[in-house]
Amino acid sequence: MERNVKIDYSNCLKAFIGEDGISIEDIKALQPKISEASESINQQKARGKLGFMELPYKDDLAKKIKTAAKKLSSKYENFVVIGIGGSALGNIALQQALRHPFWNLLDKKERKGYLRLFVPDNVDPDLISGLIDVLDVKKTLFNVISKSGTTAECMANYFILKSILQKKLGKKYNEHIIVTTDAVKGYLRETVIKENLLSFEVPANVGGRFSVLSPVGLISAAFTGIDIEKLLNGARIMDKACSSDDVFKNPAALYATVQYLYYWLKRPMSVMMPYSNALYGIADWYRQLWAESLGKEVNRRKEKINVGPTPIKALGATDQHSQMQLYMEGPQDKVITILSVGKFNSTVKIPLIDGHYLGKHTLNELLKSEEEASRLALTKAGRPNLTVSLPEISPETIGQLLYLLELATAYIGELFDINAFDQPGVELGKQLTYALMGREGFEQQLSEIEAQKKKYKENKYII
Ligand code: PA5
């Protein structure tokens, strides 16, 4: 199978949008930087640092996961992912993209024996207690996912659900838990050994937000009947299609280059707007991928600077009635990526009522026309926009799209000269949470919090 996820960047070029466009020469001028980026990526890959690039080739692992899903699904009705950030967003994205939009409302026969999926990726008490209200834990398999095995949100939800399981099932509770975590480190790995739990590994060289094609994303996908081997095949196709260091022959490098050029042309807002509800979860996943990877403080010529495009998600046609006015006439600070689907899985005819013009059409034609109209309107208004098109939504095309965006993140990280694979900025918030929750070793942070609180008490600016 050939790559069939394509990027049309015509509407970013001067020839199409006028003054605010970039030119082919601008892209060519970045070729030396792209060549350096390719070399650096290849070197890091060879040193085993970029584990996400190895994942598409782990067919044996996919087979193992598929077998476990086939064997265990008959015993359960529900599958619950307990995780947050990179340990949840990919699961949601795959589910939304590749399953029925109301999957959890289908009966087991309609789901072909596969499980309902719930991903409660927050510690909102109403969310968790609401989930407990509707779940029969005896018919539920829980997948606790945490690379570090320590993240507070994940651990708290795990403890709550584990204690319910223990109360209802006694010693057999452990048959209802699958753990996905680091191979050797962390509290969760210790628990796996102590309590004899079924477990899978998050490779040490794969960061959370790059882990959707690892057991982190593949297990829940397999338990809901997604063909994960085809998904990996799609990613492999894209990996091969991105092997050139020529920016015009490498879609990931090209996407990164266009976004990078526009970032420095005072367009730091990167909107992703699928014209498909199924792809909305991918826009959300991309939001994390882009934000956590690229929002960084860097040292440039002994000076600290802050970089990072702001990823924004929008949905066509819904957000034409919410965001489009801003995109058309608001500040010239955005570049818009439209995700376009060639052929939807269903065709829905609009009935002819009272001779209304819509009655001659399908919803497919209406949504396509809205997409086309937005693209034309944005272009006419000189607003740069790209279209990433998928001929259809299938495991192969989704595998291509996810991998394209992951590799593009690695490329733009190189262009920005930052480490796209760490997240030091998230640490402070985590440490302060630990201090507030009384974790040992965070006394210093707690006294800082107390001092800060005192300041607020003395100066109240609350209305
Ligand atoms: O991308 C990341 O690294 C983060 O978003 C993590 O996925 C998130 O913080 C959860 O971490 P963990 O999987 O260690 O619980």
Q: How does pLDDT run across 147-205, given as a tens digit for each residue?
A: 999 999 999 999 999 999 999 999 999 999 999 999 999 999 999 999 999 999 999 99
The structure tokens listed for 26 are 């601008």
> Do the beta carbons of residue 244 and residue 285 sit within 8 Å?
no
Q: What's the CA-to-centroid distance between 25 and ligand 1, angstroms?
A: 39
Q: How far is Cα 133 from Cα 331, in angstroms, rounded to an integer?
A: 46
Is 292 designated active site? yes
Asked whether residue 330 carries a pLDDT value surpassing 90, the answer given is yes
Q: What is the pLDDT of residue 220?
A: 98
Residue 340's pLDDT band, with cuts at 50, 70 and 90, is: very high
Q: Which fold has domain 52-226?
A: Rossmann fold (3.40.50)
HSE of 172, CA atoms in CB hemisphere, 13 A: 7
Q: What's the CA-to-centroid distance between 151 and ligand 1, angstroms?
A: 8
- Cβ of 189 closer than 6 Å to ligand 1, yes or no, is no
Q: Which whole number is the average pLDDT over 429-446? A: 91
Closest ligand 1 atom to residue 83 Cα is: 15
Q: What is the pLDDT of residue 30?
A: 98
Pairing of strands 385-392, 6-8: antiparallel
Q: How far is Cα 359 from Cα 351, in angstroms, rounded to an integer?
A: 5
Q: How far is Cα 181 from Cα 447, in angstroms, rounded to an integer?
A: 33
Q: How far is Cα 233 from Cα 231, in angstroms, rounded to an integer?
A: 5
Q: Which whole number is the average pLDDT over 407-421? A: 97
Distances (CA, A) of 373 to 146, 316, 328, 380, 399: 43, 11, 12, 10, 28
Omega of the bond leading into 93 within 30 degrees of 0 (cis):
no
How many angstroms from the chain centroid is the CA of residue 411?
Answer: 17
Q: Which whole number is the average pLDDT over 76-83? A: 98
Q: Which whole number is the average pLDDT over 393-409? A: 98
Is 100 designated active site? no
Q: Where in the chain is the domain with CATH 3.40.50.10490?
A: 6-45+232-416, 52-226
HSE of 259, CA atoms in CB hemisphere, 13 A: 31
Q: What is the pLDDT of residue 394?
A: 98
Q: What's the CA-to-centroid distance between 53 and ligand 1, angstroms?
A: 18
Mean pLDDT score of the chain, rounded to an integer?
Answer: 96
> Do the beta carbons of residue 124 and residue 143 sit within 8 Å?
no
Q: How does pLDDT run across 209-234, given as a tens digit for each residue?
A: 999 999 999 999 999 999 999 999 99
CB crowding 78-109: b at 16 or more within 10 Å, else e:
bbbbbbbbbbbbbbbbbbbbbbeeebeeeeee
Q: How does pLDDT run across 229-270, given as a tens digit for each residue?
A: 999 999 999 999 999 999 999 999 999 999 999 999 999 999
Residue 144's pLDDT band, with cuts at 50, 70 and 90, is: very high
Residue 462's pLDDT band, with cuts at 50, 70 and 90, is: confident
CB crowding 295-316: b at 16 or more within 10 Å, else e:
bbeeeeeeeeeebbbbbbbbbb
Q: What is the pLDDT of residue 301?
A: 75
- Cβ of 433 closer than 6 Å to ligand 1, yes or no, is no
Pairing of strands 334-343, 385-392: parallel
- Cβ of 208 closer than 6 Å to ligand 1, yes or no, is yes
User: How many other CB atoms are found less than 10 A from the CB of residue 377?
Assistant: 15
Q: What is the pLDDT of residue 453?
A: 86
Distances (CA, A) of 280 to 19, 76, 97, 204, 338: 31, 28, 8, 29, 11
Q: What's the CA-to-centroid distance between 72 and ligand 1, angstroms?
A: 27
Rounding to the nearest 10 degrees, give the CA dihedral for residues 93, 94, 96, 98: 150
Closest to 7 in 3D by CA, of 341, 387, 273: 387
Q: What amino acid is encoded at 379 in this protein? A: T
Domain 6-45+232-416 has CATH 3.40.50.10490: yes
Tell me which of 153, 292, 396, 406 is the catalytic residue.
Answer: 292
Closest to 257 in 3D by CA, of 378, 40, 418, 408: 408
Q: How far is Cα 412 from Cα 259, in angstroms, rounded to an integer?
A: 8
Is 349 designated active site? no
> Do the beta carbons of residue 90 and residue 211 sit within 8 Å?
yes
Query: Percentage of the chain with pLDDT > 70?
Result: 100
Asked whether residue 365 carries a pLDDT value surpassing 80, the answer given is yes
- For 119-180, the DSSP string reads ---S--HHHHHHHHHH--GGGEEEEEEESSS--HHHHHHHHHHHHHHHHHHGGGGGGGEEEE
Q: How far is Cα 209 from Cα 286, in angstroms, rounded to an integer?
A: 9
Query: Percentage of the chain with pLDDT > 90?
Result: 92
Q: Which whole number is the average pLDDT over 412-417? A: 96
User: How many other CB atoms are found less than 10 A from the CB of residue 284?
Assistant: 17
**What's the 3-state SS for 312-370?**
EECCCCHHHHCCHHHHHHCCCCEEEEEEEEEECCCCCECCCCCCCHHHHCEHHHHHHHH
Task: Mention every residue, 6+ apart, whose C-beta is less than 8 A from residue 440.
Answer: none
